[in-house]
Protein backbone atom coordinates (compact mmCIF):
# COMPACT_ATOMS: atom_id res chain seq x y z
CA UNK A 1 0.00 0.00 0.00
CA UNK A 2 1.40 3.37 -1.04
CA UNK A 3 0.62 6.50 1.00
CA UNK A 4 -0.60 8.21 -2.18
CA UNK A 5 -2.94 5.39 -3.28
CA UNK A 6 -5.90 7.24 -1.81
CA UNK A 7 -5.36 10.01 -4.36
CA UNK A 8 -5.48 7.68 -7.37
CA UNK A 9 -8.92 8.84 -8.57
CA UNK A 10 -7.89 12.47 -8.22
CA UNK A 11 -4.65 11.72 -10.06
CA UNK A 12 -6.46 10.09 -13.00
CA UNK A 13 -8.72 13.14 -13.33
CA UNK A 14 -5.74 15.45 -13.09
CA UNK A 15 -3.86 13.43 -15.75
CA UNK A 16 -6.79 13.71 -18.19
CA UNK A 17 -6.91 17.48 -17.75
CA UNK A 18 -3.14 17.76 -18.21
CA UNK A 19 -3.39 15.91 -21.54
CA UNK A 20 -5.53 18.75 -22.85
CA UNK A 21 -2.64 21.24 -22.65
CA UNK A 22 -1.68 23.50 -19.76
CA UNK A 23 -2.71 22.31 -16.29
CA UNK A 24 -5.49 24.77 -15.33
CA UNK A 25 -4.62 24.26 -11.66
CA UNK A 26 -0.91 24.91 -12.13
CA UNK A 27 -0.73 28.03 -14.29
CA UNK A 28 2.52 29.99 -14.09
CA UNK A 29 2.57 33.66 -15.03
CA UNK A 30 6.00 35.11 -15.77
CA UNK A 31 4.91 38.62 -14.89
CA UNK A 32 1.77 40.45 -13.86
CA UNK A 33 1.94 43.87 -15.48
CA UNK A 34 -1.41 45.34 -14.43
CA UNK A 35 -4.56 44.39 -12.52
CA UNK A 36 -5.95 42.98 -15.76
CA UNK A 37 -2.86 41.82 -17.65
CA UNK A 38 -0.28 39.09 -17.18
CA UNK A 39 2.55 37.74 -19.31
CA UNK A 40 3.39 34.13 -20.11
CA UNK A 41 6.59 34.28 -22.13
CA UNK A 42 5.97 36.97 -24.71
CA UNK A 43 2.21 36.48 -24.71
CA UNK A 44 0.00 39.03 -23.00
CA UNK A 45 -3.00 37.51 -21.25
CA UNK A 46 -6.19 39.35 -20.29
CA UNK A 47 -6.80 38.39 -16.67
CA UNK A 48 -10.45 37.60 -16.02
CA UNK A 49 -10.13 35.23 -13.11
CA UNK A 50 -8.22 36.98 -10.33
CA UNK A 51 -10.80 38.16 -7.70
CA UNK A 52 -9.05 41.54 -8.00
CA UNK A 53 -12.48 43.15 -7.84
CA UNK A 54 -11.44 46.76 -7.35
CA UNK A 55 -8.22 46.42 -9.35
CA UNK A 56 -6.14 47.86 -6.51
CA UNK A 57 -3.11 45.54 -6.68
CA UNK A 58 -1.21 48.20 -8.66
CA UNK A 59 -2.75 51.26 -7.02
CA UNK A 60 0.19 53.64 -6.34
CA UNK A 61 -1.03 54.55 -2.83
CA UNK A 62 -1.50 50.91 -1.82
CA UNK A 63 1.92 49.99 -3.23
CA UNK A 64 3.61 52.94 -1.49
CA UNK A 65 1.95 52.06 1.82
CA UNK A 66 3.28 48.52 1.51
CA UNK A 67 6.81 49.65 0.65
CA UNK A 68 6.86 52.17 3.51
CA UNK A 69 5.68 49.50 5.97
CA UNK A 70 8.53 47.21 4.93
CA UNK A 71 11.02 50.05 5.41
CA UNK A 72 9.56 50.82 8.83
CA UNK A 73 8.98 47.32 10.22
CA UNK A 74 10.80 44.88 7.94
CA UNK A 75 9.45 42.05 5.82
CA UNK A 76 7.82 39.77 8.37
CA UNK A 77 6.35 39.77 11.85
CA UNK A 78 8.00 36.42 12.67
CA UNK A 79 5.44 35.50 15.29
CA UNK A 80 1.89 35.60 16.56
CA UNK A 81 0.30 38.62 18.19
CA UNK A 82 -0.42 36.67 21.35
CA UNK A 83 3.17 35.50 21.80
CA UNK A 84 5.15 38.21 20.03
CA UNK A 85 3.02 41.33 20.19
CA UNK A 86 1.05 43.48 17.76
CA UNK A 87 2.22 46.24 15.46
CA UNK A 88 0.36 49.52 15.55
CA UNK A 89 -0.79 48.83 11.97
CA UNK A 90 -2.62 45.65 13.06
CA UNK A 91 -4.59 47.58 15.64
CA UNK A 92 -5.16 50.55 13.35
CA UNK A 93 -6.59 48.29 10.64
CA UNK A 94 -8.88 46.54 13.13
CA UNK A 95 -10.16 49.90 14.36
CA UNK A 96 -10.64 51.15 10.81
CA UNK A 97 -12.63 48.04 9.80
CA UNK A 98 -14.83 48.29 12.91
CA UNK A 99 -15.44 51.98 12.26
CA UNK A 100 -16.22 51.43 8.58
CA UNK A 101 -18.87 48.82 9.33
CA UNK A 102 -20.13 50.19 12.66
CA UNK A 103 -19.14 46.97 14.42
CA UNK A 104 -17.89 46.92 18.01
CA UNK A 105 -15.11 44.39 17.73
CA UNK A 106 -12.66 43.47 14.96
CA UNK A 107 -9.97 40.83 14.69
CA UNK A 108 -7.66 40.39 11.72
CA UNK A 109 -6.05 37.13 10.59
CA UNK A 110 -3.26 36.02 8.28
CA UNK A 111 -5.55 34.56 5.59
CA UNK A 112 -9.22 34.61 4.72
CA UNK A 113 -9.52 30.81 4.86
CA UNK A 114 -8.02 30.80 8.33
CA UNK A 115 -10.47 33.49 9.44
CA UNK A 116 -13.60 31.44 8.85
CA UNK A 117 -11.93 28.19 9.85
CA UNK A 118 -10.95 29.37 13.29
CA UNK A 119 -13.78 31.81 13.98
CA UNK A 120 -16.48 29.22 13.25
CA UNK A 121 -14.63 26.38 14.99
CA UNK A 122 -14.25 28.53 18.10
CA UNK A 123 -17.59 30.37 18.20
CA UNK A 124 -19.55 27.12 18.01
CA UNK A 125 -19.00 25.10 21.20
CA UNK A 126 -19.93 21.50 22.03
CA UNK A 127 -23.49 22.31 23.16
CA UNK A 128 -24.21 24.60 20.20
CA UNK A 129 -25.67 23.76 16.79
CA UNK A 130 -24.24 25.16 13.57
CA UNK A 131 -26.51 25.72 10.58
CA UNK A 132 -24.53 26.21 7.38
CA UNK A 133 -25.63 26.84 3.81
CA UNK A 134 -25.40 23.76 1.58
CA UNK A 135 -23.06 25.58 -0.83
CA UNK A 136 -20.71 26.87 1.87
CA UNK A 137 -17.07 27.50 1.01
CA UNK A 138 -14.55 24.85 2.11
CA UNK A 139 -13.27 27.05 4.96
CA UNK A 140 -16.78 27.16 6.48
CA UNK A 141 -17.26 23.41 6.09
CA UNK A 142 -13.83 22.75 7.59
CA UNK A 143 -14.52 25.22 10.41
CA UNK A 144 -17.72 23.30 11.15
CA UNK A 145 -15.86 19.98 11.08
CA UNK A 146 -13.21 21.35 13.43
CA UNK A 147 -15.79 22.70 15.86
CA UNK A 148 -17.27 20.53 18.58
CA UNK A 149 -20.79 21.57 17.54
CA UNK A 150 -23.31 19.46 15.68
CA UNK A 151 -23.67 20.82 12.13
CA UNK A 152 -26.79 20.89 10.00
CA UNK A 153 -26.83 22.04 6.38
CA UNK A 154 -29.81 23.88 4.94
CA UNK A 155 -30.76 24.30 1.30
CA UNK A 156 -28.71 26.89 -0.51
CA UNK A 157 -29.99 30.43 -0.17
CA UNK A 158 -33.25 29.22 1.35
CA UNK A 159 -34.37 31.10 4.49
CA UNK A 160 -37.53 28.93 4.41
CA UNK A 161 -35.48 25.75 4.62
CA UNK A 162 -33.38 27.23 7.45
CA UNK A 163 -36.60 28.18 9.26
CA UNK A 164 -37.82 24.60 8.94
CA UNK A 165 -34.55 23.18 10.24
CA UNK A 166 -34.35 25.60 13.16
CA UNK A 167 -37.96 24.73 14.07
CA UNK A 168 -37.14 21.02 13.84
CA UNK A 169 -34.16 21.56 16.12
CA UNK A 170 -36.29 23.25 18.79
CA UNK A 171 -34.71 24.61 21.92
CA UNK A 172 -31.01 23.93 22.32
CA UNK A 173 -30.24 23.00 25.89
CA UNK A 174 -27.30 25.04 27.28
CA UNK A 175 -26.35 26.19 23.81
CA UNK A 176 -27.06 28.51 20.90
CA UNK A 177 -27.73 28.23 17.18
CA UNK A 178 -25.16 29.86 14.89
CA UNK A 179 -26.19 30.32 11.27
CA UNK A 180 -23.43 30.80 8.68
CA UNK A 181 -24.07 32.17 5.20
CA UNK A 182 -22.04 33.97 2.53
CA UNK A 183 -22.96 37.29 0.94
CA UNK A 184 -21.91 36.51 -2.63
CA UNK A 185 -21.18 32.87 -3.39
CA UNK A 186 -17.79 32.34 -4.98
CA UNK A 187 -18.64 29.76 -7.62
CA UNK A 188 -22.01 30.79 -9.12
CA UNK A 189 -21.82 34.45 -8.09
CA UNK A 190 -25.32 34.37 -6.61
CA UNK A 191 -26.33 36.61 -3.71
CA UNK A 192 -27.84 35.52 -0.40
CA UNK A 193 -31.20 37.03 0.63
CA UNK A 194 -29.58 38.32 3.81
CA UNK A 195 -32.57 40.34 4.98
CA UNK A 196 -34.75 37.23 4.99
CA UNK A 197 -32.07 35.26 6.80
CA UNK A 198 -31.93 38.00 9.45
CA UNK A 199 -35.72 37.62 9.96
CA UNK A 200 -35.47 33.84 10.38
CA UNK A 201 -32.53 34.14 12.78
CA UNK A 202 -34.42 36.70 14.87
CA UNK A 203 -37.50 34.47 14.99
CA UNK A 204 -35.45 31.61 16.43
CA UNK A 205 -32.99 33.66 18.49
CA UNK A 206 -30.10 32.37 16.36
CA UNK A 207 -26.84 34.22 15.79
CA UNK A 208 -26.01 35.13 12.19
CA UNK A 209 -22.49 35.00 10.71
CA UNK A 210 -22.10 36.40 7.17
CA UNK A 211 -18.96 35.80 5.12
CA UNK A 212 -18.60 38.83 2.84
CA UNK A 213 -15.31 37.67 1.26
CA UNK A 214 -16.60 38.31 -2.27
CA UNK A 215 -18.91 41.22 -1.44
CA UNK A 216 -17.04 43.48 1.00
CA UNK A 217 -15.84 46.57 -0.87
CA UNK A 218 -18.21 45.84 -3.73
CA UNK A 219 -21.77 46.20 -2.46
CA UNK A 220 -23.49 48.66 -0.13
CA UNK A 221 -23.55 52.46 -0.19
CA UNK A 222 -20.20 52.65 1.60
CA UNK A 223 -18.81 49.33 0.36
CA UNK A 224 -19.45 47.33 3.54
CA UNK A 225 -21.00 44.47 1.60
CA UNK A 226 -24.36 42.87 0.86
CA UNK A 227 -25.67 43.15 4.44
CA UNK A 228 -25.27 46.91 4.08
CA UNK A 229 -26.90 46.84 0.65
CA UNK A 230 -29.92 45.07 2.17
CA UNK A 231 -30.04 47.53 5.06
CA UNK A 232 -29.38 44.93 7.78
CA UNK A 233 -25.69 45.40 8.56
CA UNK A 234 -26.47 46.39 12.16
CA UNK A 235 -28.52 43.23 12.64
CA UNK A 236 -25.82 40.77 11.65
CA UNK A 237 -23.85 39.36 14.58
CA UNK A 238 -20.61 38.55 12.75
CA UNK A 239 -19.15 39.66 9.42
CA UNK A 240 -16.06 38.01 8.01
CA UNK A 241 -14.02 38.92 4.97
CA UNK A 242 -10.68 38.73 3.29
CA UNK A 243 -7.91 41.12 2.30
CA UNK A 244 -7.14 39.10 -0.82
CA UNK A 245 -9.98 40.30 -3.01
CA UNK A 246 -11.27 43.90 -2.95
CA UNK A 247 -8.51 44.86 -0.49
CA UNK A 248 -5.81 43.57 -2.87
CA UNK A 249 -3.54 42.04 -0.23
CA UNK A 250 -3.66 38.83 1.82
CA UNK A 251 -5.26 38.26 5.21
CA UNK A 252 -8.75 38.22 6.68
CA UNK A 253 -11.02 39.81 9.23
CA UNK A 254 -13.92 38.94 11.48
CA UNK A 255 -16.08 41.71 12.92
CA UNK A 256 -18.83 41.55 15.49
CA UNK A 257 -21.51 43.81 16.84
CA UNK A 258 -20.86 42.16 20.21
CA UNK A 259 -18.04 43.50 22.38
CA UNK A 260 -17.76 40.01 23.84
CA UNK A 261 -16.13 38.81 20.60
CA UNK A 262 -12.86 40.34 21.79
CA UNK A 263 -12.19 37.46 24.21
CA UNK A 264 -12.11 34.90 21.39
CA UNK A 265 -8.71 36.35 20.44
CA UNK A 266 -7.43 34.25 23.32
CA UNK A 267 -9.35 31.13 22.24
CA UNK A 268 -8.94 30.95 18.46
CA UNK A 269 -6.03 28.61 17.92
CA UNK A 270 -5.36 29.58 14.31
CA UNK A 271 -5.07 33.19 15.50
CA UNK A 272 -3.01 32.43 18.59
CA UNK A 273 -0.52 30.10 16.98
CA UNK A 274 0.02 31.67 13.55
CA UNK A 275 2.38 34.46 12.60
CA UNK A 276 0.44 37.71 12.31
CA UNK A 277 -0.11 39.42 8.94
CA UNK A 278 3.04 41.05 7.58
CA UNK A 279 3.49 44.84 7.81
CA UNK A 280 3.29 45.20 4.04
CA UNK A 281 0.06 43.18 3.75
CA UNK A 282 -1.63 45.13 6.52
CA UNK A 283 -0.49 48.49 5.18
CA UNK A 284 -1.74 47.90 1.64
CA UNK A 285 -5.07 46.56 2.96
CA UNK A 286 -5.41 49.69 5.10
CA UNK A 287 -4.70 51.91 2.08
CA UNK A 288 -7.18 49.91 -0.02
CA UNK A 289 -9.85 50.40 2.66
CA UNK A 290 -9.45 54.15 2.17
CA UNK A 291 -10.02 53.63 -1.57
CA UNK A 292 -13.22 51.69 -0.84
CA UNK A 293 -14.43 54.64 1.23
CA UNK A 294 -13.31 57.41 -1.13
CA UNK A 295 -13.77 55.92 -4.61
CA UNK A 296 -17.33 54.57 -5.07
CA UNK A 297 -16.76 54.84 -8.82
CA UNK A 298 -14.67 51.65 -8.58
CA UNK A 299 -17.75 49.72 -7.47
CA UNK A 300 -19.87 51.41 -10.11
CA UNK A 301 -17.47 50.48 -12.91
CA UNK A 302 -17.21 46.91 -11.64
CA UNK A 303 -21.00 46.46 -11.65
CA UNK A 304 -21.26 48.07 -15.11
CA UNK A 305 -18.65 45.65 -16.51
CA UNK A 306 -20.45 42.72 -14.83
CA UNK A 307 -23.69 43.72 -16.53
CA UNK A 308 -21.91 44.19 -19.86
CA UNK A 309 -20.31 40.74 -19.87
CA UNK A 310 -23.42 39.03 -18.46
CA UNK A 311 -25.52 40.44 -21.29
CA UNK A 312 -22.86 39.65 -23.90
CA UNK A 313 -22.52 36.02 -22.82
CA UNK A 314 -26.31 35.59 -22.52
CA UNK A 315 -26.73 37.00 -26.03
CA UNK A 316 -24.20 34.45 -27.28
CA UNK A 317 -26.43 31.76 -25.76
CA UNK A 318 -24.19 30.67 -22.88
CA UNK A 319 -25.90 29.32 -19.78
CA UNK A 320 -24.97 31.52 -16.82
CA UNK A 321 -25.46 30.40 -13.24
CA UNK A 322 -26.75 33.64 -11.70
CA UNK A 323 -27.75 37.25 -12.29
CA UNK A 324 -24.98 39.79 -13.02
CA UNK A 325 -22.33 40.10 -10.30
CA UNK A 326 -18.53 40.39 -10.38
CA UNK A 327 -18.50 36.60 -10.59
CA UNK A 328 -19.91 35.19 -13.81
CA UNK A 329 -20.07 31.40 -13.98
CA UNK A 330 -20.55 29.85 -17.42
CA UNK A 331 -21.93 26.32 -17.12
CA UNK A 332 -20.30 23.72 -19.40
CA UNK A 333 -21.45 20.16 -20.13
CA UNK A 334 -18.62 18.33 -18.33
CA UNK A 335 -15.16 18.88 -16.91
CA UNK A 336 -13.22 17.61 -19.94
CA UNK A 337 -15.05 19.95 -22.31
CA UNK A 338 -14.65 22.79 -19.80
CA UNK A 339 -10.92 22.08 -19.49
CA UNK A 340 -10.53 21.91 -23.29
CA UNK A 341 -12.27 25.27 -23.64
CA UNK A 342 -10.25 26.72 -20.77
CA UNK A 343 -7.07 25.78 -22.62
CA UNK A 344 -8.32 27.29 -25.85
CA UNK A 345 -9.12 30.58 -24.08
CA UNK A 346 -5.69 30.58 -22.43
CA UNK A 347 -3.93 29.90 -25.74
CA UNK A 348 -5.91 32.78 -27.19
CA UNK A 349 -5.02 35.26 -24.48
CA UNK A 350 -7.84 35.11 -21.91
CA UNK A 351 -7.41 33.71 -18.41
CA UNK A 352 -10.52 32.57 -16.57
CA UNK A 353 -10.89 29.95 -13.82
CA UNK A 354 -11.77 26.34 -14.43
CA UNK A 355 -14.00 25.13 -11.60
CA UNK A 356 -14.99 21.47 -11.32
CA UNK A 357 -16.60 19.10 -8.79
CA UNK A 358 -16.41 18.64 -5.84
CA UNK A 359 -15.49 22.33 -5.53
CA UNK A 360 -18.67 23.43 -7.29
CA UNK A 361 -22.37 23.28 -6.44
CA UNK A 362 -24.56 20.72 -8.22
CA UNK A 363 -21.41 18.93 -9.47
CA UNK A 364 -21.13 21.62 -12.17
CA UNK A 365 -18.22 22.23 -14.50
CA UNK A 366 -17.68 25.94 -14.94
CA UNK A 367 -15.67 28.53 -16.77
CA UNK A 368 -15.64 31.11 -13.99
CA UNK A 369 -14.97 34.75 -14.77
CA UNK A 370 -14.20 37.26 -12.05
CA UNK A 371 -14.24 40.90 -13.04
CA UNK A 372 -12.28 43.91 -11.94
CA UNK A 373 -13.05 47.61 -11.73
CA UNK A 374 -9.84 47.94 -13.73
CA UNK A 375 -11.41 46.16 -16.72
CA UNK A 376 -12.39 48.55 -19.47
CA UNK A 377 -15.33 48.21 -21.86
CA UNK A 378 -12.76 47.21 -24.47
CA UNK A 379 -11.40 44.44 -22.22
CA UNK A 380 -14.91 43.01 -21.97
CA UNK A 381 -15.22 43.17 -25.79
CA UNK A 382 -11.99 41.18 -26.04
CA UNK A 383 -13.21 38.53 -23.57
CA UNK A 384 -16.62 38.29 -25.28
CA UNK A 385 -14.93 38.05 -28.69
CA UNK A 386 -12.88 35.08 -27.51
CA UNK A 387 -15.93 33.34 -26.04
CA UNK A 388 -17.71 33.84 -29.38
CA UNK A 389 -14.76 32.35 -31.30
CA UNK A 390 -14.58 29.48 -28.84
CA UNK A 391 -18.26 28.80 -29.45
CA UNK A 392 -17.67 28.73 -33.23
CA UNK A 393 -14.98 26.11 -32.68
CA UNK A 394 -17.21 24.15 -30.34
CA UNK A 395 -17.42 20.99 -32.50
CA UNK A 396 -13.65 20.75 -32.88
CA UNK A 397 -13.09 21.39 -29.18
CA UNK A 398 -15.66 18.80 -28.14
CA UNK A 399 -14.11 16.29 -30.57
CA UNK A 400 -10.70 16.92 -28.99
CA UNK A 401 -12.18 16.42 -25.52
CA UNK A 402 -13.86 13.17 -26.58
CA UNK A 403 -10.59 11.89 -28.06
CA UNK A 404 -8.87 12.37 -24.72
CA UNK A 405 -11.70 10.66 -22.85
CA UNK A 406 -11.72 7.76 -25.34
CA UNK A 407 -7.96 7.28 -24.94
CA UNK A 408 -8.42 6.58 -21.21
CA UNK B 1 -45.64 9.73 10.02
CA UNK B 2 -45.35 6.15 11.26
CA UNK B 3 -41.82 4.82 11.15
CA UNK B 4 -41.21 3.28 7.72
CA UNK B 5 -39.59 -0.12 7.38
CA UNK B 6 -35.98 -0.62 6.30
CA UNK B 7 -37.26 -1.81 2.92
CA UNK B 8 -39.34 1.33 2.42
CA UNK B 9 -36.40 3.59 3.35
CA UNK B 10 -34.11 1.58 1.05
CA UNK B 11 -36.59 1.97 -1.85
CA UNK B 12 -36.83 5.70 -1.25
CA UNK B 13 -33.05 6.11 -1.13
CA UNK B 14 -32.72 4.16 -4.40
CA UNK B 15 -35.22 6.53 -5.97
CA UNK B 16 -33.39 9.61 -4.68
CA UNK B 17 -30.09 8.15 -5.87
CA UNK B 18 -31.14 8.00 -9.53
CA UNK B 19 -29.66 11.41 -10.53
CA UNK B 20 -26.37 10.52 -8.82
CA UNK B 21 -26.08 7.08 -10.39
CA UNK B 22 -25.81 7.73 -14.14
CA UNK B 23 -24.08 4.39 -14.74
CA UNK B 24 -27.10 2.62 -13.21
CA UNK B 25 -24.96 0.63 -10.80
CA UNK B 26 -26.84 -2.00 -8.85
CA UNK B 27 -27.65 -0.73 -5.36
CA UNK B 28 -27.67 -3.08 -2.38
CA UNK B 29 -27.62 -2.51 1.38
CA UNK B 30 -23.89 -3.34 1.22
CA UNK B 31 -23.05 -0.81 -1.53
CA UNK B 32 -20.45 1.75 -0.52
CA UNK B 33 -21.93 5.15 -1.37
CA UNK B 34 -18.63 6.70 -2.44
CA UNK B 35 -16.59 3.56 -3.09
CA UNK B 36 -19.06 1.42 -5.08
CA UNK B 37 -21.65 3.88 -6.35
CA UNK B 38 -19.03 6.59 -7.04
CA UNK B 39 -21.21 9.38 -5.67
CA UNK B 40 -18.87 12.37 -5.11
CA UNK B 41 -18.69 14.10 -1.74
CA UNK B 42 -20.80 17.10 -2.82
CA UNK B 43 -23.45 14.87 -4.33
CA UNK B 44 -23.62 12.80 -1.12
CA UNK B 45 -24.70 15.92 0.73
CA UNK B 46 -27.27 16.74 -1.97
CA UNK B 47 -28.64 13.20 -1.65
CA UNK B 48 -28.78 13.56 2.14
CA UNK B 49 -30.71 16.79 1.78
CA UNK B 50 -33.32 15.07 -0.37
CA UNK B 51 -33.72 12.36 2.28
CA UNK B 52 -33.96 14.99 5.05
CA UNK B 53 -36.70 16.85 3.23
CA UNK B 54 -38.68 13.73 2.43
CA UNK B 55 -38.65 12.36 5.97
CA UNK B 56 -38.57 15.76 7.72
CA UNK B 57 -35.44 14.94 9.69
CA UNK B 58 -32.01 16.55 10.06
CA UNK B 59 -28.95 14.37 9.57
CA UNK B 60 -26.02 16.23 11.16
CA UNK B 61 -22.87 16.54 9.04
CA UNK B 62 -20.72 14.69 11.57
CA UNK B 63 -23.06 11.71 11.31
CA UNK B 64 -22.87 11.74 7.51
CA UNK B 65 -19.08 11.35 7.67
CA UNK B 66 -19.52 8.03 9.50
CA UNK B 67 -22.01 6.62 7.00
CA UNK B 68 -20.20 4.54 4.37
CA UNK B 69 -22.82 2.12 3.01
CA UNK B 70 -26.45 2.32 1.94
CA UNK B 71 -27.32 -0.02 4.83
CA UNK B 72 -25.75 2.37 7.34
CA UNK B 73 -27.68 5.25 5.77
CA UNK B 74 -30.95 3.31 6.03
CA UNK B 75 -30.28 2.57 9.73
CA UNK B 76 -29.40 6.20 10.49
CA UNK B 77 -32.54 7.48 8.75
CA UNK B 78 -34.73 4.98 10.57
CA UNK B 79 -33.23 5.93 13.93
CA UNK B 80 -33.67 9.65 13.32
CA UNK B 81 -37.29 9.20 12.22
CA UNK B 82 -38.11 7.18 15.32
CA UNK B 83 -36.38 9.77 17.56
CA UNK B 84 -38.41 12.44 15.63
pLDDT digits (tens, 9 = 90+) for A358-393: 889 888 999 999 999 999 999 999 999 999 999 999
Of the partner residues A134, A165, A357, the one whose CB lies closest to the CB of residue B40: A357
Nearest-CA distance from B10 to chain A in Å?
22
Instruction: Kindly report, residue by residue over B6-54, the tens digit of the pLDDT.
Output: 999 999 999 999 988 888 899 999 999 988 888 887 788 889 999 999 9
The pLDDT of A218-240, averaged and rounded, is 98
In chain A, % of residues over pLDDT 70: 100
ipTM over 0.85: yes
Across the interface, whether the CB atoms of A144 and B57 are under 8 A apart is answered no
Q: What is the SS3 string spanning chain A?
A: CCCCHHHHHHHHHHHHHHHCCCCCCCCCCCEEEECCEEEECCEEEEECECCCCCCHHHCHHHHHHHHHHHHHHCCCCCCCHHHHCCCHHHHHHHHHHHHHHCCCEEEEECCHHHHHHHHHHHHCCCCCEEEEECCCCHHHHHHHHHCCCEEEEECCCCHHHHHHHHHHHCCCCCCCEEEEEECECCCCCCECCHHHHHHHHHHHCCEEEEECCCCCCCCCCCCCCHHHHCCCHHHCCEEEEECCCCCCCCCEEEEECCHHHHHHHHCCHHHHCCCCCCHHHHHHHHHHHHHHHHCHHHHHHHHHHHHHHHHHHHHCCCCECCCCCCEEEEEECCHHHHHHHHHHHHHCCEECEEECCCCCHHHCEEEEEECCCCCCHHHHHHHHHHHHHHHHCHHHHHHHHHHHHHCC
Nearest-CA distance from B7 to chain A in Å?
25
Lowest mean pLDDT among A140-149, A284-293, A341-350, B43-52: B43-52
Q: What is the pLDDT of residue A252?
A: 98
The pLDDT of A271-291, averaged and rounded, is 97
Of the partner residues B49, B56, B65, the one whose CB lies closest to the CB of residue A134: B49
Q: Which residues of B touch A (CB under 8 A)?
A: 40-43, 45-46, 48-49, 53, 56-58, 60-62, 65
Q: What is the pLDDT of residue A303?
A: 97
Higher pLDDT, A2 or B46: A2
Across the interface, whether the CB atoms of B60 and A151 are under 8 A apart is answered yes
Amino acid sequence: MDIFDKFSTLKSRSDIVKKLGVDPFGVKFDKITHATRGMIGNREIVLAGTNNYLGLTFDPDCMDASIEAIKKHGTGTTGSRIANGSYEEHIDLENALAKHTGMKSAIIFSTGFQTNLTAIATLAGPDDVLFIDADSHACIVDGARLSAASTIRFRHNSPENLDKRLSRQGEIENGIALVVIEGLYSMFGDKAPIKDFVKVCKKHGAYLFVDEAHSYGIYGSTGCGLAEEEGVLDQVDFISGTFSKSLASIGGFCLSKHEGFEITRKAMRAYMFTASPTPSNVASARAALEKIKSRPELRENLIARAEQIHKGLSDLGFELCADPSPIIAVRRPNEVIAATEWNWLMENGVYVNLAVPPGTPQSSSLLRISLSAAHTKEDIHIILGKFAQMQEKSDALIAKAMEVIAAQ
Amino acid sequence: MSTPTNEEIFAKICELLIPYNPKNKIITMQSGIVTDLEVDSTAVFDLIMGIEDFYDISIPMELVSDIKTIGELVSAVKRLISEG
